[in-house]
A and B are shown apart, each in its own frame.
Chain A
Amino acid sequence: MSKAKEKETQEYLGLSHVLNLSFNWSAGPYLGKWLTELRDNGKLWASRCPKCQRLLLPPRIVCGICHIRTPEWPDWLQLSGKGKLLEWEKVVAPQMNPSTGKIEPEPYIHGNILLDEGVTFQHYLEEQDETKLKEGTRVEVVLKPREERQGLVTDILYFRIVEE
């Protein structure tokens, strides 16, 4: 057998592993309140920087630009969940969910939405037909039913097109 042939037929060995770790993390007072409000009351909130007036979604304790404290809940702004589509992308690359080890279904469409209150938010879109999407399309948030919500950002199912 020639050297090249030998190289082709050589069996490469390796080891299979499963990295399986469970861990808890504290979401902190602001993100924790935001997630529990989403889960329990189905409400979306954003905090506003008292200095530069921009909205922070999800709310943060300190404005990243002005470096000053933002007000605590309930001095947050409740969002309508409606807005317009700024841009979107069709994700075709198969990706593994790191919490289950399974490959997520693809393709799916992921959008960047400008909410009516003036803050952007990124999430999945319900519409899978790209020809029905254009910049400025009106969309609204759709949540999972109350009993299926887990207090995670995935409690938001997707944004769907609204006819107005």
Chain B
Amino acid sequence: MTSNTPYIVEGRLFVPYFNYYGALASEFYRQLRDHKKIMGIKCPTCSKVYIPPRSTCAKCFGNLNEWVDVSSKGTVTTYTIIHYTYSPSNQPMDVPYACGIIQLDRADTGLCHLLGEMSPDKISVGMRVEAVFKDQRQGNILDIKYFRPV
């Protein structure tokens, strides 16, 4: 007879890896890191401005290569409040914190980011916000610390 106690094997995966943003997103993050600029990319055919940048227009399938400097100010189009700590090392702020989609001026798509310097119950759709940049920027989306009200 085999034993009824299951034999449990302790497994572990430990895989370091690095993924490149690609040519377009690298330019986006370089501008963010070096010049505190949020860059969008404009479709030459239908004039739609995408942020973050992409290489093909989703509307007319045109190739995109015209960079435009979009504003660091925008409007909250939707938001949510996070009350739950699910992964402390991967969450950017202590709970409760707010996360929203911000429609930047001169851009046609929304940017999902954190909302800071405001009480979560004071946030409303349509409120005006501006980007706050970190002092030490490393070339990732958290070089923008959060968006605060203006």
Contacts and interface: CB of A to CB of B under 8 A. Distances in A.
B140 interface: yes
A10 B26 contact: yes
A89 interface: no
Interface in B1-53: 1-3, 6-23, 25-27, 29-30, 33
A105 interface: no
A16 B18 CA distance: 4
Contacts, number: 109
Nearest to B32: A13
B23 A12 contact: yes
Contact of B20 (A14, A29, A33, A101): A14
Interface of B: 1-3, 6-23, 25-27, 29-30, 33, 139-140
Contacts of B3: 29, 32-33, 36
Contact of B14 (A16, A18, A26, A30): A18
Nearest to A35: B7
Q: Which of A14, A17, A26, A31 counts the most chain B CB atoms within 10 A?
A: A14
A14 B18 contact: yes
A152 B33 CA distance: 48
**Which label, helix, strand, loop or mixed, suits the secondary structure of the A interface?**
mixed
Interface stretch (A92-100, A107-115, A123-131): A92-100
A26 B13 contact: no
A151 interface: yes
A22 B11 contact: yes
15 contacts: A12-B20, A12-B22, A13-B29, A17-B16, A18-B17, A19-B16, A20-B12, A20-B13, A24-B8, A26-B7, A26-B8, A96-B15, A99-B13, A101-B15, A151-B7
Nearest to A33: B2
